[in-house]
Structure 1
């Protein structure tokens, strides 16, 4: 028998074996569409848009739903949107905590009776800044001496005849 001779009885079997929702009419002949493939049939559910591949396996016809790439992408997008909302809310929560900690630190530092205990904007205390200034002064003097020595050596070499 050829596939075309089997198509009509197969269509009846596949349509009758299709999953039926409670509100659907099981005798709705226009719900499913069958298209012949090389090794079976593709069954399209016109209501849900789902496609199944129907094949004869061990003398019985079986229809296996095919993966729907668009639906999978839509589900992934929806899941990512939910995760994005969750992470955005968590980010706002953490920002609020950071601001509260900053205010608490400012209040604690303000309660030191006006003493110079606040760090500078770069995070250095007044004593640290004094030490840094001394180190920079020392470095400047050392560099001036070094370059002075280099200048003296250059002058000496230029003065000597060959």
Structure 2
């Protein structure tokens, strides 16, 4: 089933809630309400007296299918002679999934911080923070920078000297 964003009007929501309350109200009056035809995952039949049965109710030219176990709502409609149901977007589910993802990420980061703190605690003060290869690259960079700066200041000195000399033409 795909997820679509279907705006639920107050009337649609009221109809869905009324369908959930109908069996209880009918039982209180002694009326036998026939169970709706329901199907489980992959088309397998669910017994009508099974608690996991779905409730169907008409709503604005379509039908709402409510899973009594999970509370998930689907919008069902007939297209080309066959019925298809699409799950109504559930913001709560999206929030719960995001919270779960963030909790997992937090745990991962806390574990990593713990590893780094332990690694830091085992290092001695005199120990190098970079490896020999990185230290060699750093030395090469510093040598290059030193030469570049000396060259630059040499050019500045030459320019000053040229500006300080009177024109001899």
TM-score (norm 1): 0.47
* Larger proportion of helix: 1
Larger Rg: 1
TM-score, normalising length: structure 2: 0.46
Q: Which one scores higher on RCO, CA 8 angstroms, separation ≥ 6?
A: 2
